[in-house]
Amino acid sequence: MNENTTKISHAELEIMKILWQADEPVSTNDIYKELSEKMSWDRSTVRTLLKRLSEKDAVTVKNLKVISYLPLIQEKEYRDSQTKSFIERLYGGSAKRLVSSLVENYNLTPADIDELRSLLEQGGDKIE
């Protein structure tokens, strides 16, 4: 993943979520329809965000019958990159400090703690 893709804005992330959920290229119009209902965005906003994502090499343009978009980065790849960046910025790179904060500040159930313990013992192999 290149450096630009780690700088996807919150608005651009809304578009990426639509693309990640689809199993095929998604047209500009379909993206617009979903986001106009959810975010009250107009077509020019959607086109601008798609252009930015394309410039960041986060999406590719497919000119089928209509212009459509496909993600060039996978959701897990992006999520992992953002998690690493978050831990670096807020916890000095210490995942231990992040987990400590979660335990101290959130009402984790005994089941949650058991699941976290199991994940740690498996080295993170058990995903969702």
Q: What is the pTM of this model?
A: 0.69
10 and 71, same domain (yes or no): yes
Does residue 89 sit within a domain?
A: no
8 and 69, same domain (yes or no): yes
Does residue 80 sit within a domain?
A: no
Residue 70 pairs with which residues in a beta bridge?
60
Cβ neighbours, 10 Å, residue 22:
15
105 and 64, same domain (yes or no): no
Segments forming the whole domain that contains residue 99 = 94-128
Encode 101-116: b = buried (16+ Cβ within 10 Å), e = exposed: eeeeeeeeeeeeeeee
List the one residue out of 4, 14, 77, 2 whose CA is nearest residue 45. Answer: 14
Q: What is the dihedral of CA 62, 68, 70, 72, to 10 degrees?
A: 60
* CA-based torsion, 110, 117, 83, 41: positive or negative: negative
Angstrom distance (rounded) from CA 97 to CA 88:
11
Does residue 43 sit within a domain?
A: yes
The per-residue pLDDT for range 78-122, each reduced to its tens digit, is: 999 999 999 999 999 998 899 889 888 888 888 998 988 888 888
Consecutive H or E run containing 94: none
Number of domains in the chain: 2
The per-residue pLDDT for range 37-46, each reduced to its tens digit, is: 899 999 999 9
